[in-house]
Amino acid sequence: MATNLYFNNFPKNITSEQLLVEDLVIESLKMYGMDVFYMPRTSRDVIDNIYGEDPLKQYISAFPLEMYLENITGMDGDGDFISKFGLEIRDEISLLVSRRRFQSIANQTRPNEGDLVFVPVINGFFEITFVEHEDNQAMYHTLGRGRGGNVYLYALKLKHHVFSNEIIETGVSDIDNNIRDYYPRTKLSLSTMTSGKFVNDEIVYQGTDLANATAQAVVYDFYPNTHIDIIRVQGKFTAANVIGATSSSVGVVSVADDTAYMNTAFNDDIDNMFIEGESDSIIDFTESNPFGEA
């Protein structure tokens, strides 16, 4: 049974009515949405083909966008619970973003799984796990538009991001300042300062110059004449001169260790040392035969 030839509810080309609806959708997102930063993932062209992952994940750009939060009663997912791996945080959220706005701002076809979204309202990082980019249920074929991925909206499913030493350096202070506290820190004890003072966030290195450095890192904090805390370490620091790439300061390293305090809020399974320390006060390890009377 053929449909009426004079009424085409599923046109092949975009119509002016569909563009009007899209304009209204964008306006609604600007009114009822929230400002977030979309952070595409790059991998420095290094891919592990065996495990199917990129071991050098980095996020070096952030695009401000308005997105609508679909959650109305709280976070989705399994929430926070204690498992055999310790405290796990499995919060999930759903976001809607305009297809046209995304393509014009982010300069790519669609959001990709593995990319991050930073939500300034809660200072939270969320990782995209799934993108509904074909037939979104929020606007299913409205005015016949939706074929071939030509949708009004992208629906994003995201989970709470667990930080694992990815390089996050976007140039957006709200993001970079928030993430720097979560990098593991190495403490470089200084026997003396030959010249100058190190400054935060500068690169320090050992070697003839930065291009031929045997070890390099970024200064997290500098304590004059005592030590510097460094993050994003590459190579191994030894008892030798350490040089600041920006300040040209020179200090003499006496010892390097990784016992500097670090913020572990992103890690849900890093309780090992804490549990071991607590068990020392409960379990008597001096007992030679804990299962017998002798």
Q: What is the pLDDT of residues 6-47, one digit of tens each?
A: 777 777 777 788 788 888 889 999 999 999 999 998 876 666
Pairing relation of β-strands 186-195 and 227-235? antiparallel
Look at residue 240 and tell me whether its pLDDT is greater than 60. yes
Q: pLDDT at position 1, please?
A: 53
pLDDT band at residue 2, thresholds of 50, 70 and 90? Answer: confident
Lowest mean pLDDT among 3-17, 83-97, 154-168: 3-17
pLDDT band at residue 63, thresholds of 50, 70 and 90? Answer: very high
pLDDT band at residue 185, thresholds of 50, 70 and 90? Answer: confident
Q: 183 with 201: CB under 8 angstroms?
A: no
Q: pLDDT at position 262, please?
A: 44
Which has the closest alpha carbon to 217: 207, 232, 206? 232
Q: 206 with 242: CB under 8 angstroms?
A: yes
Look at residue 128 and tell me whether its pLDDT is greater than 90. yes
User: Which percentage of the chain shows pLDDT scores above 70?
Assistant: 73
Q: How far apart are CA 79 and CA 125, in angstroms?
A: 16
Q: How far apart are CA 281 and CA 235, in angstroms?
A: 37
- pTM above the 0.75 mark? no
Give me the mean pLDDT over the 157-172 stretch: 86
Which has the closest alpha carbon to 232: 205, 196, 272? 205
Contacts of 236 (CB under 8 A, 6+ apart): 214, 215, 256
Look at residue 248 and tell me whether its pLDDT is greater than 60. yes
Q: How far apart are CA 3 and CA 1, in angstroms?
A: 7
Instruction: Tell me the CA distances in angstroms from 28 to 21, 33, 40, 206, one per residue in order.
Output: 10, 8, 25, 54
Which has the closest alpha carbon to 159: 83, 78, 74, 91? 91
